[in-house]
Amino acid sequence: MRNAVTLKDVARETGVHVSTVSRALGPNAHNTLTEQVITRVRDAAARMGYVPNRLASGLRTNRTMTVGMMIPDITNPVFPPMVRGVESVLEPLGYASIIVNTDNLVEREHRLADILRERGVDGIIHAAVLRHDPRIDAIVAQGTPVVTANCSLASPDIPAVVSDDAHGIHLMLHYMYNLGHRAITHIAGPEELSSGQIRRKAFIDAAEGLGLHLPDGAIARTDRFDEAAGHRAAQHLVQAGPPFTAILCASDRLALGAIDYLRSRGIDCPAQVSVSGFNDIPMLDLIPPRLTTVRIQPFEVGRVSAQLLLQIMTDKTAACPRETVLPVSLVVRDSVTVAPDRPVSTA
Amino acid sequence: MRNAVTLKDVARETGVHVSTVSRALGPNAHNTLTEQVITRVRDAAARMGYVPNRLASGLRTNRTMTVGMMIPDITNPVFPPMVRGVESVLEPLGYASIIVNTDNLVEREHRLADILRERGVDGIIHAAVLRHDPRIDAIVAQGTPVVTANCSLASPDIPAVVSDDAHGIHLMLHYMYNLGHRAITHIAGPEELSSGQIRRKAFIDAAEGLGLHLPDGAIARTDRFDEAAGHRAAQHLVQAGPPFTAILCASDRLALGAIDYLRSRGIDCPAQVSVSGFNDIPMLDLIPPRLTTVRIQPFEVGRVSAQLLLQIMTDKTAACPRETVLPVSLVVRDSVTVAPDRPVSTA
DNA sequence: TTGAAAGCGCTAACAA
DNA sequence: TTGTTAGCGCTTTCAA
C-alpha cells in the first residue's frame, strides 16, 4: 500500500469530484450518474491501476468484506475441504478469509478471537468451539454474526451446520450388529467437543435401541482425535475393558491408532477384532485393512455454513435455522467383518 | 464491530484526552507518560473490553498487521504444515494471515492478489508462483514485501525459501543406481512450477553425472502433481517409453498414481519396478508398498519464509538472502529395491 | 507530561 | 446529475 492510487488521484485525472468517482465505481452507479462519466471514470481507474482501500471503506461502512474462520488445526485433513467449501461461496463475492488455528486451546481461542475482532471481520465461521464458550457469546452479543460448522455450542441462538453424527453411529452399530457382533466397544473423542460428546451419546442410544448391554469400561474416552490417543485407548480397552469383538471409533485417526495397537499385540483386524472409523479422510482406501467408516461431507459443511453466514450478514433479521444437519453415509470396506466365535479379552 | 469500545470511550471514562489514551496503550508509553496515568488508562481499557480497531490504525499508519498467503490448494497435504510454520512466527506477534488458494490458475491468482492488495497486507508469502508472473513483480514494485516459499520466480530480487530439490533427486537417483538400476525413468511435474522444472532438470543432471543414458521418452511430463496424472504418465511410460526397472517420481502423489497403474497392469512394485516419491506426505508409511521418498520440511519452509518476510517488513533496507535452501533427506522404505534381471518393456 | 488538531481514504447525507 | 461536507477510529506532530 505504499504508493497506491486513490480516489483522489482518479478524481484529479478525470476532472470530477472524489465522491463522483466513488459513485461511478460503485455497483449502482447507473441510478445517479451519466453513462459518459461512468465510463470515463472507470476507464481512468482501470488504466491507473486503482484498487479500492478496504481499510478506509470498512472504517466508514463497518463492512470489511472479510470473514474469520476458526478451526482447531488445518493439519487435520477434515478441515482443508471445509475451508475450500467456505471459500467457494464467499470468494466470488469478494470476501477474504482470515484463518486461525486454535489447537482446541481456550487461551489461544480467546487471543485469536481478538485478532479477528480487531480486524472487524463481518462474520465468523467457527469450527473449533468447545461446548461452552462465553467469549463467543460475547462476540455474538457485540453484533458479529457467527455460524458454527462441524460442531455446535451448548448455548442456543447460534446457527450450527453439522453432520448427522448420531445417524452415522447408528448406521455403523447396526452394520456391526448385523454381522453378528454383540460385544462392541467404543473409543470416544474429547468430551468438550460436540462431535466427541454427540457420537458417544449416540453410541449409547443406538446400543440401547438394539438391546445391547454395555458393561463397565466398554467406552474408552480420549482427549484428542488422533492416532496416539486411539492407540492408548485400544490398549486400555484390551487390558482393562470387557471382552469384545469390535471397536466403533469416533474418528478415522482414532481407528488407525487402535488398529496399530492391536497389531502390536498380534491381534488381527478384522479377523479377530473389527474396527470402524468416522469421517472418511483422504487416502483411507489405500491403507490396509481398508477402513470401514462413515463419510461426512466437509466441503458441504463449509459451503452451507458460508451461505448461512452470508444470509445473516446481509440481513440480520433473517430467520435462520438453528441447526442444519447434513447427511452422512456408510462406507463399507474391509476393517469390519463378521464377528469371530470368541471375543478378545484380557485373559 | 457494531458497538465496539473506542479510544474516545476510554478517554471519557478516564478523563484524559484520546491521544493520551492512545499513548498509554502503546508499547513505549513509559517514555512519555506518568506511571499513574498509564495504569489508570490500561485498567479502564481492560475493564471496558477495549479492542483496538486495526482498520483505523492501519489507515493511519499503513501497517495492517496482516499478511497474505497464496498457496495452490490447502487440500494438498504439503501446505497445511507450511501454513502452521508461518503462523508459528507471525501469530505471536499479533499478525493475522489471509490465506487464498490459487489452484495454479493465473486468473484466480490475479483476482486473489487484488483481494490482498485491497486489504493492504503488510507482506505476502507466495507459495503458488508460476515461474513467470508479472503481477507479482507489480506488487513488489508497489512496495509490498514478498517472499516465495517452496518455489521461486524466474525474476530475481524476490527472496525464495526452497527445499534442496536437486539434492533430493540426486540422493534418490544414486540410491537407485547403487541398487543396480540402470534403466530409470522419471515422471516430472508441471513445467510452469519451479519444483516441477527443477526436479526434472536435476534428474537429467544426476543421470548424466552417473553416465546413465536417457533414451527418448524416458521422461513423462504431467500437468498436475496428483494421482491421476501419475497414473496417466505411468501408462505412457509403459506403453510408449523405453524399457525400465525404476520410476523416479517428482512427487508422492504422482508415485501413488503410478503404482496404481502398474498394479492394474499386473506389474508389481517393487518386485518388477521400483518407484520413488518426493515430499513425504503424512500417512505414507501406512500405505503399501511403503513409499521410499525424499522428505522435505514444509513447516520449516513456512517458518523461515515468515522470518524473512518479517525482516523485510520491519526494515526494507535489510539485506536478505536471495535464496534460502532447506535440507532434505532420503526416507528409505519399501517401494525401491534391488533391480530385477529384466526390465519392464512395451513388448 | 498532556492536549489540540490534522488527516489517512472512503462513503453518505445534504445541497445545489 | 454532481459537488460539499463531515466523520469513521486512530496516530502523530506541534504546542503548551
Dump pLDDT digits (tens) for A248-266: 999 999 999 999 999 999 9
Q: Are residues A254 and A316 in the same domain?
A: no
| Residue B255 included in any domain | yes
Cα of B8 vs its chain's centroid, Å: 43
Lowest mean pLDDT among A126-140, A153-167, B306-320: A126-140
Percent pLDDT > 90 in chain A is 83
Among A340-344, B268-272, B314-318, whose mean pLDDT is lowest?
Answer: B314-318
For residues B38-56, average pLDDT:
95
DSSP letters for B37-51 = HHHHHHHHHHHHT--
Confidence band, pLDDT 50/70/90 cuts, at residue B28: confident
Res B153 pLDDT > 90: no
User: Are both B292 and B303 inside the same structural domain?
Assistant: no
Question: Using a CB-CB distance cutoff of 8 angstroms, which residues of chain A are in contact with residue B114?
Answer: 51
Q: Among B84, B256, B288, whose Cβ lies nearest the Cβ of A288?
A: B288
Res. A347 pLDDT band, cuts 50 70 90: very low
Distance from CA of A212 to the nearest CA of B (A): 34
Residues A25 and A87 in one domain: no
Q: In Å, how far is A111's CA from the nearest CA of chain B? A: 9
User: Does position B142 have pLDDT exceeding 90, yes or no?
Assistant: no
Domain endpoint, select from A280, A296, A312:
A296
Q: Is residue B333 part of a domain?
A: no
Taking contacts as CB-CB distances below 8 angstroms, the residues of chain A near B59 are 53, 55-56, 59
- Alpha helix segments (H runs only) across chain B: 7-14, 18-25, 35-48, 54-61, 79-90, 106-118, 134-141, 165-178, 194-209, 227-240, 252-264, 298-314
Residues of the domain holding A142: 60-162+297-326
Listed range (A5-9, A136-140, A179-183, B281-285) with the worst mean pLDDT: A136-140
| pLDDT (average), residues A82-104 | 97
Residue A320's identity, in one-letter code, is C
Which of A63, A67, A40 is closest to A52 using CA atoms?
Answer: A63
Angle at B71 between CA B67 and CA B77, to 5 degrees: 120
Domain at A11, CATH number? 1.10.260
B209 and B290 inside one domain: yes
Considering the domain architecture, whether residues A251 and A189 belong to the same structural domain is answered as yes
**Residue B283 belongs to a domain with what CATH number?**
3.40.50.2300
- Peptide bond just before B270 cis, omega within 30 deg: yes
Nearest to B71, CA basis, from B55, B54, B87, B58: B87
- Residue B274, in any domain of the structure: yes
Q: Of A23-27, A275-279, B248-252, B292-296, where does mean pLDDT reach its minimum?
A: A23-27
Handedness of CA B190, B192, B194, B199 (dihedral sign): positive
Of A222-226, A273-277, B312-316, the least confident:
B312-316
* Banded pLDDT at A344 (limits 50, 70, 90): confident
Q: Is B126 helix (H, G, I), strand (E, B) or coil?
A: strand
Q: Given CB atoms, is B119 within the 8 Å cutoff of chain A?
A: yes
What pLDDT is stored for residue B346 in this prediction?
Answer: 59
Model pLDDT for residues B213-223, shown as the tens digit of each residue = 999 999 999 99
Res B200: pLDDT:
98
Residue A122's nearest CA partner among A62, A194, A211 is: A62
* Cis peptide upstream of residue A321 (ω within 30 degrees of 0): no
Return the pLDDT at B2: 58
Residues B265 and B193 in one domain: yes
Res A16: pLDDT:
93
Q: Classify the C-alpha dihedral B120-B125-B129-B134 as positive or negative.
A: positive
Residue nearest to nucleotide D13 (CA to C1'): B19
pLDDT, average across residues B308-328: 90
B254 grid coordinates:
504422482
Q: Is B140 on the interface with A (CB under 8 A)?
A: no
- For residue B276, the cross-strand partners are B248, B292
In this prediction the pTM is: 0.94
The pLDDT > 70 percentage for chain B reads 98
Shared domain check, A177 and A125: no
Q: Which residues in chain B are closer than 8 Å to A115, comparing Cβ atoms?
A: 91, 94, 96
Q: Does B94 touch chain A (CB under 8 A)?
A: yes
Same domain, B205 and B268: yes
Residue B106: inside a domain: yes
In a domain, A341, yes or no: no
| Spatial distance between the Cα atoms of B107 and B97, rounded to a whole number of angstroms | 22
Judge: B87–A101 Cβ closer than 8 Å, yes or no: yes
Residue nearest to nucleotide C5 (CA to C1'): B19
Mind listing the pLDDT tens digit for each residue in B253-275? Answer: 999 999 999 999 999 999 999 99
Q: Count up the domains in chain A and report the number.
A: 3
Do A254 and A315 belong together in one domain?
no
Rounded mean pLDDT, B107-130: 92
Percentages (nearest 5) of helix, strand, coil residues in chain B: 45, 15, 40
Q: Which nucleotide is nearest to A17 (CA to C1')?
A: D3
Q: What is the pLDDT of residue B1?
A: 55
The predicted structure's pLDDT at residue A2: 58
Q: Is B35 on the interface with A (CB under 8 A)?
A: no
List CB contacts of A34: < 8 A, sequence separation 6 or more. none
Q: Nearest CB to B114: which of A51, A55, A81?
A: A51
Instruction: Tell me whether residues B75 and A74 touch, CB distance under 8 A.
Output: no
Mean pLDDT of B71-76: 96
**Which pLDDT score is estimated for B17?**
95
Instruction: Read off the pLDDT of residues B154-189 as tens digits, 9 standing for 90 and up.
Output: 777 889 999 999 999 999 999 999 999 999 999 999
The pLDDT of residue B347 is 46
Q: Name which of A155-159, B12-16, B53-57 the model is least confident about.
A: A155-159
Residue B244 lies in a domain: yes
The whole-angstrom distance between A62's CA and the closest CA on chain B is 7
Please report whether residue A333 resides in a domain.
no
Q: A139: part of which helix (H) or strand (E)?
A: helix A134-141
Are A23 and A73 within one domain?
A: no
Partner residue facing A119 (CB), from B77, B96, B142: B96
Asked if residue A67 and residue A46 are part of one domain, the reply reads no
Residue B42 gets the label, from left (phi > 0), alpha (psi -120 to 50) or beta, of alpha
Contact between A86 and B89 (Cβ < 8 Å): no
| The pLDDT of residue B340 is above 60 | yes
What percentage of chain B reaches a pLDDT higher than 90? Answer: 84
Chain D nucleotides covered by protein, CB below 7 Å: 1-5, 7-13
Residue A255 lies in a domain: yes
Q: Is A15 left (phi over 0), alpha (psi -120 to 50) or beta?
A: left
User: B16 and B89 in one domain?
Assistant: no
